[in-house]
Chain A
Amino acid sequence: MNPIMTPEEESLSPSRPESKSERPAPTPPASRPAASAGTAAIGAPALTVKNLFVYFGKNAAVKNVSLDIAAKAVTAIIGPSGCGKSTFLRALNRMHDLNPDARVEGEIRLFGEDIYARRIEPVVVRRRIGMVFQKSNPFPTMSIAENVTVGLRLNGVRNKKILAERTERALRMAALWDEVKDRLHAPAISLSGGQQQRLCIARALAVEPEVLLMDEPASALDPLATAKIEELILELKKDYTIVIVTHNMQQAARASDYTAFFYLGELVEFGPTAKIFTSPKQKRTEDYVTGRFG
């Protein structure tokens, strides 16, 4: 039985608050290997990454990374430019499938299920693991409401009532509803930068993912809009697993529970955010967070 719903199955099922019944059971603890540098997370992790390599041609941009991403928590990925953090993030939802020069080796499991297994559709992976990018990219020809529901409509959801409900829910979760409820049919590009980014978050949330990946979600925003995004992340983690790539260390300190420090494609250190920023174990981590390089 394919535990990940096909589009047909999804559109036929009634809209219910918890559509997680199709999620496979997690791998039993006994079969998990011994803890390595990246397994400091407590409880059953949402994502387990083992010996991940990502190559662009002959160049390994990510080298032998093993990491557990804790469920319903925020994990920040930090490191200097070119350290492989965005490459790592994109491996988590099979974005590299779209690049003919890229090759991914190793294992990534979502609640125990191998997301790179042959029978798994990448599109379905990307529904369960959503993504928000640095430059917000609402579809310019669509309205606010259309942007939110595009993922649902592409998956065959037609029922207007369901679409309206899911639109409101997603916009509320993205803390945007109050600002746009009276102009849902206005063009998405009429929103401010910060609002557009929250719209993109709503769009990702509308298909009810389990994991949300965010690649520098606030770096194009002013401080007030940034603070709103950070506050939103802290709210969203009650229901979603979040992985955020950021070059802003104070943001990682403010908004995350765990932090992974990458350098030259390798995972140097991983641990609770409080520890990484007050007493890192590795000298390279200490040098980076205190601004001595990078």
Chain B
Amino acid sequence: METHFETELDNLKQQLLAMAGHAETAVNRAVEALMQRNRDLALKVRADDDIIDHFEIEIDEMVIHLLTKAPLASHLRLVTVAMKISQNLERIGDEAAKIAKRARDLAQEPPLNITLDLPRMAALALAMVKEALDAFVQYDSSAARAVIPRDKEMDVLHKQVQQILADHMMAHPETIARCLHWIVAAKSLERIADHAKNIAEEVVYLCEAQDIRHPAAQNQNPPPADP
């Protein structure tokens, strides 16, 4: 039979998953607003960012509350990892709001005459978020590890989009303002993939008690006291 503490941990997990749902919806809607030039949808994404922010506050409060109960071992890792995941999800929400802002601005301008595969970048970023969160729920370390290298795929896509836009701006300087909006939106999608990777790293820590962040720094001696 579950203890009261385990019930509270379950509630924490449920809150995180609910928050993730909102963040994923925000990204989907923001990209749709961008591609469909839908100003109203863009404004809705920006307004709904408050919901995601509220989740972060609530989850952080739950975490502090749980920490007063002195959890140990995997419970301690779960609680601290939950706080970090909520932080990453909140940043994903912010990036979606940024994309929506650019979508709002672009909707007021004539469309650019180029094809940019931002939906493909979005699909990859969201797949990474989903797989990282599934790994969290399933307590599956190898699934979490599998997310991490996909960040390289995103970097490749991002570079391609940047190149297309850079070329276009040089050939058509009158489109620079609009191209910059697209560059920012693409950058936001790349950042969302980074946050998904962060979540995956936290899940590995949760399952294996191993910190796999910043591999280069792991091998170093302690950093110098003075910069």
Which residues of chain A have a CB within 8 Å of any CB of chain B? Answer: 227, 231, 234, 250, 253-254, 273-274, 277-278
- With both beta carbons as reference points, the residue of chain A lying nearest to B64 in the complex is identified as A278
Q: Tell me, rounded to whole Å, the shortest Cβ–Cβ distance linking A93 to chain B.
A: 27
Tell me whether B69 is interfacial, beta carbon within 8 Å: yes
6 smallest beta-carbon distances between A and B, as pairs = A250-B70, A253-B68, A277-B68, A254-B69, A234-B4, A253-B69
Are A250 and B4 neighbours in the complex by a CB distance under 8 Å? no
Q: Which residues of A contact B3 (CB under 8 A)?
A: 227, 231
Chain B positions 1 through 42: 1 when the CB is less than 8 Å from some CB of chain A, otherwise 0: 001110000000000000000000000000000000000000
Tell me whether B65 is interfacial, beta carbon within 8 Å: yes
- With both beta carbons as reference points, the residue of chain A lying nearest to B3 in the complex is identified as A231
Are B69 and A274 neighbours in the complex by a CB distance under 8 Å? no
Q: Which residues of A contact B5 (CB under 8 A)?
A: 254
Return the contact of B68 from the options A227, A231, A234, A278 (Cβ within 8 A). A278
Q: Which residues of B contact A250 (CB under 8 A)?
A: 68-70
**Interface residue ranges of B39-84 to A (CB < 8 Å):** 64-65, 68-70
Report the interface size class on chain B.
under 10
- With both beta carbons as reference points, the residue of chain B lying nearest to A233 in the complex is identified as B4
Return the contact of B65 from the options A227, A231, A234, A278 (Cβ within 8 A). A278
A273 to B66, CA, bound (A): 12
- With both beta carbons as reference points, the residue of chain B lying nearest to A254 in the complex is identified as B69
Are B68 and A274 neighbours in the complex by a CB distance under 8 Å? yes
Are B70 and A231 neighbours in the complex by a CB distance under 8 Å? no
Q: Which residues of B contact A227 (CB under 8 A)?
A: 3
Given contacts A227-B3, A231-B4, A274-B65, 17 further A-B contacts (CB under 8 A): A231-B3, A234-B4, A250-B68, A250-B69, A250-B70, A253-B68, A253-B69, A253-B70, A254-B5, A254-B69, A254-B70, A273-B68, A274-B68, A277-B68, A278-B64, A278-B65, A278-B68
Q: Which residues of A contact B4 (CB under 8 A)?
A: 231, 234
A231 to B6, CA, bound (A): 11
Q: Which residues of A contact B65 (CB under 8 A)?
A: 274, 278
Q: Tell me, rounded to whole Å, the shortest Cβ–Cβ distance linking A31 to chain B.
A: 36
Q: Tell me, rounded to whole Å, the shortest Cβ–Cβ distance linking A223 to chain B.
A: 10
Q: Tell me, rounded to whole Å, the shortest Cβ–Cβ distance linking A140 to chain B.
A: 32
- With both beta carbons as reference points, the residue of chain B lying nearest to A273 in the complex is identified as B68
A254 to B4, CA, bound (A): 9
Q: Which residues of B contact A234 (CB under 8 A)?
A: 4
Q: Which residues of A contact B68 (CB under 8 A)?
A: 250, 253, 273-274, 277-278
Q: Which residues of B contact A253 (CB under 8 A)?
A: 68-70
**Interface residue ranges of B99-158 to A (CB < 8 Å):** none
A231 to B7, CA, bound (A): 12
A253 to B5, CA, bound (A): 11
Q: Which residues of A contact B64 (CB under 8 A)?
A: 278
Q: Which residues of B contact A273 (CB under 8 A)?
A: 68
Q: Tell me, rounded to whole Å, the shortest Cβ–Cβ distance linking B67 to chain A.
A: 9
A278 to B3, CA, bound (A): 23
A215 to B5, CA, bound (A): 23
Residue of A227, A234, A250, A254 most packed against chain B (CB within 10 A): A254
Q: Tell me, rounded to whole Å, the shortest Cβ–Cβ distance linking B57 to chain A.
A: 14
A234 to B4, CA, bound (A): 8
A254 to B3, CA, bound (A): 11
Q: Which residues of B contact A278 (CB under 8 A)?
A: 64-65, 68
A234 to B69, CA, bound (A): 14
- With both beta carbons as reference points, the residue of chain B lying nearest to A231 in the complex is identified as B3
A234 to B5, CA, bound (A): 10
A227 to B75, CA, bound (A): 15
- With both beta carbons as reference points, the residue of chain A lying nearest to B7 in the complex is identified as A234
Q: Tell me, rounded to whole Å, the shortest Cβ–Cβ distance linking A238 to chain B.
A: 11
Q: Which residues of A contact B70 (CB under 8 A)?
A: 250, 253-254
Q: Tell me, rounded to whole Å, the shortest Cβ–Cβ distance linking B189 to chain A.
A: 37
Q: Tell me, rounded to whole Å, the shortest Cβ–Cβ distance linking B105 to chain A.
A: 42
A253 to B64, CA, bound (A): 11
A-B residue pairs in contact (CB < 8 Å), sample of 17: A227-B3, A231-B3, A231-B4, A234-B4, A250-B68, A250-B69, A250-B70, A253-B68, A253-B69, A253-B70, A254-B69, A254-B70, A273-B68, A274-B65, A277-B68, A278-B64, A278-B68
A274 to B62, CA, bound (A): 10
Q: Tell me, rounded to whole Å, the shortest Cβ–Cβ distance linking B49 to chain A.
A: 27
Q: Which residues of B contact A231 (CB under 8 A)?
A: 3-4
- With both beta carbons as reference points, the residue of chain A lying nearest to B5 in the complex is identified as A254
A273 to B64, CA, bound (A): 12
A250 to B3, CA, bound (A): 16
A253 to B4, CA, bound (A): 13
A118 to B34, CA, bound (A): 80
Q: Tell me, rounded to whole Å, the shortest Cβ–Cβ distance linking A179 to chain B.
A: 14
Q: Tell me, rounded to whole Å, the shortest Cβ–Cβ distance linking A40 to chain B.
A: 18
Q: Which residues of A contact B69 (CB under 8 A)?
A: 250, 253-254
